[in-house]
Amino acid sequence: MASSTQSIRRSVALPPALVERAMEAAPPELQGNFNGLVRSLLEAYVEQRRAYEFSKEMRSMAADPSIQREVAFINSEFVAAEGDGLGKPDDLPR
């Protein structure tokens, strides 16, 4: 993987209308800076994909019967702490 100080140059073919719409939608600090806009969008895409994959794994775990049993067991271990005098969440000061 290249360090953040190195650059990799790539040539891409994009429809002019897409480039125009992207530049119009760019935040003020990236207006007129297509390279900066593409970099920003790629970083956002990578983060979005990571979040999606994490969410997908969490949904998979939540649907796993063995995980559900383990969570139920852990919850049963802490049921005694529910009466610790703190009251219900709605009763707590805000």
Per-residue tens of pLDDT for the chain, all 94 residues: 556 678 999 999 999 999 999 999 999 999 999 999 999 999 999 999 999 999 999 999 999 999 999 999 999 988 877 777 666 666 666 6
Dihedral-angle region of residue 31 (phi above 0 means left; psi in -120 to 50 means alpha; beta otherwise): beta
Show the 3-state SS of 24-56: HHCCHHHCCCHHHHHHHHHHHHHHHHHHHHHHH
Nearest to 29 by CA among 43, 16, 40, 13: 40
